[in-house]
Structure 1
């Protein structure tokens, strides 16, 4: 739980009573490597803070699926659109390694929003951060070549290249694993 508090206190200093109320709504959960966290078609009921491990969001298909996001350590993640609207998710989420998360349910988060002024501030910050990351990725897909997207990933998120299998990296930047191999050979 200390990581969540540190994350929040980057934004605002919490009073002990506020922290105790917020922390009381989170529950620890461990997912095994490759375990599905949220199934496509199920409603997302939890906002998760990744303590350790790695999560990918993807649209399932016959091969690897279409990967479009990753949740790294010390970040919040979930099928956020499903969580906000409480409707079935159009994609799945999977632990790519053993993953420890702290989860808060949709209903508990509404209580935190309703009973603490700091909760709304923290929620807005988390939402804005998720929106900005999504917007940045969409612009990258529209404006950059596959090679440029890979190089940008290489410079901005080198940890991703160490942790994530290349087949998912390829999908994330919108190309096949074979095309990624060609790009990597050209760069080396």
Structure 2
């Protein structure tokens, strides 16, 4: 829970009273690797802070799954369209590593909005962060090469990329696993060249 408070304090001032109200609505929950947190067809009831771990959003399909988002630790995550509308999600959410979450229920968050001075700011900040990630992803798919998308993901959290299976990474950047292997080889070759020159 200290990580959440630090996350907030780096972005805005939060009073002890408001923090106590907000934190009283949180609880810790742990999931093992490869655990489906939210199934397609279920409704998202939580906005969660990832203390530790790695989460994947994907669309389940018969032939192959379509991975479209990874969320790393020290970030909020939610199937936010389902959370906002309280309607069933069309995609699934699963852990790719042992994961510790601090979720707040939709109803409890509404109480925080009403009962604290900072509540609406917390909600706005979480929603803006999720929106910006989504917008950046959509823009990247339109204008960036697959190699650039992979390089940016690698730069963001290199220590966690090793936990993501190649097929999920390939799906995320929009190429086959074989094409991703070639991209990784090119990036490694460039990196080695820079180290020796």
- Could you tell me which residue of structure 1 aligns to residue 50 of structure 2? 50
Q: Which runs of 4+ in 1 moved over 6 A?
A: none
Unaligned regions of 5+ residues in structure 1, if any?
none
TM-score (structure 1 length as normaliser):
0.94
Secondary structure of the corresponding residue to residue 28 of structure 2: strand
Counterparts of 1:119-134 in structure 2 under 5 Å?
Answer: 119-134=119-134
- Could you tell me which residue of structure 2 aligns to residue 87 of structure 1? 87
Secondary structure of the corresponding residue to residue 162 of structure 2: helix
Unaligned regions of 5+ residues in structure 2, if any?
190-197
Q: Distance between the aligned counterparts of 1:155 and 1:98, measured in 2?
A: 22
Secondary structure of the corresponding residue to residue 117 of structure 1: coil
Q: Does 1:114 align with 2:76?
A: no
Larger Cα Rg: Structure 1 or Structure 2?
2
Alignment coverage as a number of residue pairs: 188
Q: Contact conserved, 1:64 with 1:167, CA < 8 A, in 2?
A: no
Q: Distance between the aligned counterparts of 1:151 and 1:35, measured in 2?
A: 27
CA RMSD of aligned residues (A): 1.5
Counterparts of 1:23-38 in structure 2 under 5 Å?
Answer: 23-38=23-38
Q: Contact conserved, 2:27 with 2:102, CA < 8 A, in 1?
A: yes
* 1:3 CA drift (Å): 0.8
* 1:151 CA drift (Å): 2.5
Q: Distance between the aligned counterparts of 1:168 and 1:160, measured in 2?
A: 13
Bigger mean CA deviation after superposition, 34-43 or 145-154: 145-154
- Could you tell me which residue of structure 2 aligns to residue 104 of structure 1? 104
TM-score (structure 2 length as normaliser):
0.90
* 1:63 CA drift (Å): 5.5
Deviation digits for residues 142-181 of structure 1, max 9, x if unmatched?
0012122223333344344233222211111111111111
Q: Distance between the aligned counterparts of 1:173 and 1:13, measured in 2?
A: 37
